[in-house]
Structure 1
Amino acid sequence: MKKQFLQTLPKIRFWFFVVLLTGWGGTAIGQSKVHLRINQLGYLASDSKEALVFSEAPFRERLQLRLTENSEVVLEGKPVRLKTATWGSFDYYYNFDFSSVMQAGEYYLQSKNSGIRSQSFHIGPQAYAGHQETLLEFMRQQRCGYNPTLDMVCHEKDGRSFYGPMPDSTYLDLSGGWHDAGDQLKYLITGSYATAHLLLAFELYPDRFADHHNALGQPGSNGIPDVLDEAKWGLDWIHKMHPSPDVLFHQIADDRDHRGFKIPNQDNSDYGWGANSYRAAYAATGKPQGLGKYKSEATGLANLAGRSAAAMALAARIWKEHLQDSVYSAKCRGAALSLYALGRKQEGYQQGNSYGAPYRYNEETWADDMEWGAAELYALTNEPAFLKQAKEYALVSSNQDAWAVRDTAAHYQLYPFVNMGHYALHRHVDQDFKKELENYYLEGISYTLKRAQQNPFHIGVPFIWCSNNLLTSLVAQVILYEKMTGDRQFQPFLTAQRDWLFGRNPWGTSMFTGLPADGEFPEDVHTSIYVMLGLSVPGGLVDGPIYRSIHDNLLGLTLNDPDEFSHLQNQHVVYQDDVGDYSTNEPTMDGTAGAILMMAHFGKPAE
């Protein structure tokens, strides 16, 4: 039950049951389970605005858009039946378009006769105002070292090295960074992307971010936008993970962490030095690794080095130009050059490591990361060699690294889920090469749009593990494509992908914890602080819907409670708001960071 609501009330869902509707000619028509789906967070004035109605029998009512304050009818119309394939056990899907309504205000939708009603939602600039800060609140919750949400220090003894040039079990200070998800591992694979994404989002939308917290994440302004404080938390950790020009660590801890829910400073995992003590720290070697049964695959380490170099080059520019901090800028510049050189020396990919379970981050791409690193270094240094290399990597990467032109992929196989290098390079090349880069994005957008046209929700991603990460990345790709080309033809597609994340989906739920605060959102999330402390932190993006063919074969997945969405599931895709479902209901650090650009784009300048 939502803790923001009266605790005696049942959990609210936005579907409604109409048992007897009177049809044309007065004939009684038995109709049940009519479901109305909207974007609960709301819409900008210029957005395409579409609600979805689905039911087991024909729906013959008109819908009304009403002002919340006085119930005035602003628009009335008949939903249009969709001709796409159905979803699940429901045979009838209808679209109601209210894009013509642009006046700012709070509204709700209601069926004219039976009174089926949605919750209230906003139209106008307030709909997304400030919510990039909500996502940053979740990021602060994921901090390792000093955690401002819990006001505690954890994992101070990270870590003892393996596979490095120093003797195994040598101690290095690798504290800091972010816990990856509901567990407490730390990966450079995801940490480098999260850091770089935060920095790019700030560079694109510097006026959208507020300053309400200090560098430690505690309340209070420090003269630096909170998004940069959060990015610096990642940058400082990457500096530690790259202690010398030829050394790069890529992972702290492994699946020995998975010993049930636990408070971070009371970690019961044991890596050979007792519980709540030192944890394994893996150095990137470009070769397969694994201290237990399972071994990763690896051919190099350029994915990690290139992505980290991009983050450092972005930081060098931002700290110099926006914060006038030449000392930190120089430190990041040096790290960017060193990391990129390491990637050039060992092209290829390094995957995540597992110990006793078969699951790991299976990244198999790297040219996209080196393209990004080279493009950002060219922007920083104006050295022609970086531009030449960025173009070469762009042609290697092209769309070979893109999930968006495929129907499936392994877990994190094609990571990151959007090639930021194409955008970073675009402004530095001639018109012919610009067109080449634009076409890479366009091909992915067009392919996913074709997928979207086959279902009533107009959703374009495959439901592999972490499908919500794909979705926010697709949104980012459309936004970046628009910035590169000025082409806004995909605006309706863009808003449909966004709207899915906030409730226009089969389950009628937002995919972000606590958003909107008075709506339907993931509550029983797979995190320790929720299970053990009852703490619900808003802004976390959960993994999201997944193919049943994957879901039903995962190890250790059990439901704590009956599936409240059982009547809405289909045979192919499942989402469950349950602590026991780590595959669909676990909020992730990099998924949340990867949604920052989207939230800033739809937001408004900070006040």
Structure 2
Amino acid sequence: MRLFLFILLTSFYLQAQTHFRINQVGYLQNENKVAVAFSKVPLTQKVYLVDAQTDKTVLTPKIKAVTNGNWGTFDYYYELDFSKIQKIGNYYLKSGDDKSTIFPIGTKLYAGIPDLLLRFMRQQRCGYNPELDVYCHQKDGYSFYGPMKDTTFVDVSGGWHDAGDQLKYLITSSYATAHMLKTYELYPNKFEDKVDALGKPGANGIPDILDEAKWGLDWLLKVHPDPKSLVHQIADDRDHAGYKMPDNDNSDYGWGANSYRPAYFATGEPQGLGKFMSSATGVSNLAGRCAAAFALGAKLWKYDAEFAARCAEAAKTVYALGKEKPGYQQGNSVKAPYRYNESTWYDDMEWGAAELYRLTGDKSYLDDAKEFALKSNTEDSWTVKDTTDHYRLYPFLNFGHFVLHELVDKDFQKKLESYYEEGIRYTLNRANRNPFKVGVPFLWCSNNFLSSLAGQLILFEKMTGSKKYNEYLLLQRDWLLGRNPWGTSMYSGIPENGEFPREVHTSLYALKKLEVPGGLVDGPVYASIYNNLIGIHLLHPDEFAEFQNNHVVYHDDLGDYSTNEPTMDGTAGSLLMMAHFL
């Protein structure tokens, strides 16, 4: 009888337990502060905001039941607004015996986070890797589809490994480079100088974000060796031969392990060395983003006039190549059908043309930018879609509209603003149908969508001066930092003592248990995607099992490459959001 009562009471307690979800990094003094609570039974007790130092209640937040949707296994959701509290300190939420984790309210809460993101970027470096202090992939690579004979050596060493694997893609590297440069241009006083150009400790008089962007520019110059050539990918999915350290790569592309890797030239035509062919039609997507990166590099690099001039010339020649071969180049695969399926390019050429006009004053670039903007409108954006293929509508943030905005008349400005706002409103409509008010579809790399949506909201505010979507922006940021069903940050090592991805899908973790902070993981995906991917298997019992549903899943597990693999471009793409809140 006692055992029965114990089981019954334990079951009731578990049913009645209240879970709190907050931004673990914390809340700035003057911003809206809204947490989420959920339970399997109605919340009947009051909720208190408690000063963690004194254990004294400072506020009884008003509880607002969320009635416009739930998240599967829990039936009752509530918003807890404590925006009126602005006193700097550490706090927690409490209801009965249930407590949230402790979180701060303050002014400099995001200081140091960009440094961690840049540390992760340095960990992704190919060539010389400062995190590991090793040199890798010095034989990149042997040419394919180039103007020379196949398997001719071309020096395309350097750049960044794309994610947990060790491929290198111009698709993502061009965006990461341009994004970092644009972020620095918008927030030039928010980045520190703690490492040198190689990423080793020690200031060199150059902000670290520019050091990292130049690492990208150096590689972009290598893959555009002459006006008619552009290398778009190094290696392919034959890389996926198990976990390995980058300086001891066991992948064999036909020349033995730890040796040469393919260097695929962009031709604008379908490519593939196996049965899985891409659907390429041109090179404008890559050329436009590279042109933007080169033009920004030429404008911002004040430390070496000769390097800046090389960037300026490369911006012009690669842009011309994009006009000569309109269309999109996709990634190449050999063993499996998974690739970067980008199929948009007007947005990229708009950005490249706008940056070239800012650099040169040549009106033909401005005319091009306006034409491309009208063609891209919102059709190139994932923000007005409920589903799309992997990286089909890339990049996930179109900087072109923002850059062009200050260069055109008021009527055209309104048009560009409407393109951004249409996407914002579409995602907001989706957000209003779930208790966390998150606005993205849970496709592969949903966290990249989230950081990009945050970026679009920030740029819209800068374009218009309107803060009408500021609360929505905060909720997207907060989701990434813990205000989500799993209560986890989506960045490795952030915050230092919080709940964050640890068992990330990388060789460095698998082989060395090396935890490098700052990497944005892919994030939650629809269960329908997760259940149909090849080769996924969890290595440990699911610590978040209680919070999964039949719709969306996330696992902090080395075996789940779909939700827990950190990406280089997603991390670089978060710098704008983090800088904004510094």
Q: What's the TM-score bracket when you normalise by the shorter of the two chains? A: over 0.9
Q: Is the 8 Å Cα contact of residues 506 and 558 (structure 2) preserved in structure 1?
A: yes
1:243 pairs with one of 197, 200, 225:
225
Report how far residue 196 of structure 1 moved.
Answer: 0.4
Query: What one-letter code is carried by the residue in structure 1 that aligns with 2:51?
Result: L
The whole-number CA distance in structure 2 between the counterparts of 1:476 and 1:78 is 30
The whole-number CA distance in structure 2 between the counterparts of 1:29 and 1:370 is 58
The equivalent residue for 2:292 is 310
Q: Secondary structure at the match of 1:208?
A: coil
Alpha carbon RMSD of aligned pairs, Å?
A: 1.5
The equivalent residue for 1:154 is 136
Residue 557 and residue 420 in structure 1: after superposition, are their counterparts in 2 closer, same or farther (change >3 A)? same
1:84 pairs with one of 64, 68, 71:
68
1:254 pairs with one of 207, 214, 236:
236
Matched, 1:93 2:93: no
Query: What one-letter code is carried by the residue in structure 1 that aligns with 2:139?
Result: K
Matched, 1:498 2:482: no
The whole-number CA distance in structure 1 between the counterparts of 2:397 and 2:279 is 22
The whole-number CA distance in structure 1 between the counterparts of 2:567 and 2:10 is 43
The equivalent residue for 2:215 is 233
Q: Secondary structure at the match of 2:412?
A: helix
Residue 240 and residue 109 in structure 1: after superposition, are their counterparts in 2 closer, same or farther (change >3 A)? same
Report how far residue 124 of structure 1 moved.
Answer: 2.0
The equivalent residue for 1:407 is 386
Report how far residue 33 of structure 1 moved.
Answer: 3.4
Comparing 163-172 with 46-55, greater Cα deviation is found at: 46-55
Matched, 1:566 2:545: yes
Report how far residue 43 of structure 1 moved.
Answer: 1.1
Matched, 1:46 2:30: yes
Report how far residue 291 of structure 1 moved.
Answer: 0.5
Q: Is the 8 Å Cα contact of residues 61 and 78 (structure 1) preserved in structure 2?
A: no
Q: Is the 8 Å Cα contact of residues 292 and 315 (structure 2) preserved in structure 1?
A: yes
Residue 30 and residue 599 in structure 1: after superposition, are their counterparts in 2 closer, same or farther (change >3 A)? closer
The equivalent residue for 1:181 is 163
Query: What one-letter code is carried by the residue in structure 1 that aligns with 2:65?
Result: R
List aligned pairs for 1:393-472, cutoff 5 A: 393-472=372-451
TM-score, scaled relative to structure 2: 0.97
Matched, 1:107 2:91: yes
Q: Is the 8 Å Cα contact of residues 405 and 448 (structure 1) preserved in structure 2?
A: yes
Matched, 1:522 2:504: no
Comparing 391-400 with 119-128, greater Cα deviation is found at: 119-128
Report how far residue 78 of structure 1 moved.
Answer: 4.2
Report how far residue 562 of structure 1 moved.
Answer: 1.3
Query: What one-letter code is carried by the residue in structure 1 that aligns with 2:358?
Result: A
The whole-number CA distance in structure 2 between the counterparts of 1:204 and 1:278 is 40
The equivalent residue for 1:364 is 343
Report how far residue 565 of structure 1 moved.
Answer: 1.1
Report how far residue 32 of structure 1 moved.
Answer: 2.9
1:364-412 per-position Cα deviation (integer Å, ceiling 9, x unaligned): 0000000000000000011110000000000011111000011111000
Residue 20 and residue 291 in structure 1: after superposition, are their counterparts in 2 closer, same or farther (change >3 A)? closer
Matched, 1:56 2:31: no
Q: Tell me the percent identity.
A: 61
Report how far residue 311 of structure 1 moved.
Answer: 0.4
The equivalent residue for 1:14 is none
Residue 576 and residue 30 in structure 1: after superposition, are their counterparts in 2 closer, same or farther (change >3 A)? closer
The whole-number CA distance in structure 2 between the counterparts of 1:134 and 1:588 is 14
Comparing 558-567 with 430-439, greater Cα deviation is found at: 558-567
Q: Is the 8 Å Cα contact of residues 342 and 393 (structure 2) preserved in structure 1?
A: yes
The equivalent residue for 2:528 is 549
1:261-291 per-position Cα deviation (integer Å, ceiling 9, x unaligned): 0000000001111000000000000000000
Q: Secondary structure at the match of 2:143?
A: strand
Report how far residue 86 of structure 1 moved.
Answer: 1.1
1:501-554 per-position Cα deviation (integer Å, ceiling 9, x unaligned): 011101110000000111100111100001101100000000000011111000
2:117 pairs with one of 131, 135, 150:
135
Q: Secondary structure at the match of 2:98?
A: coil
Query: What one-letter code is carried by the residue in structure 2 that aligns with 1:420?
Result: F
1:72-131 per-position Cα deviation (integer Å, ceiling 9, x unaligned): 3221134221111111111100110011112222222222xx232222212122221121
Report how far residue 20 of structure 1 moved.
Answer: 8.1
1:147-183 per-position Cα deviation (integer Å, ceiling 9, x unaligned): 0000000000000000000000000110000000000
Q: Is the 8 Å Cα contact of residues 182 and 528 (structure 1) preserved in structure 2?
A: yes
The whole-number CA distance in structure 2 between the counterparts of 1:195 and 1:289 is 25
The equivalent residue for 1:32 is 16
The whole-number CA distance in structure 1 between the counterparts of 2:14 and 2:544 is 23
- Structure 1, gaps ≥5 residues long: 1-17, 22-27
The whole-number CA distance in structure 2 between the counterparts of 1:433 and 1:130 is 38
Q: Secondary structure at the match of 1:123?
A: strand
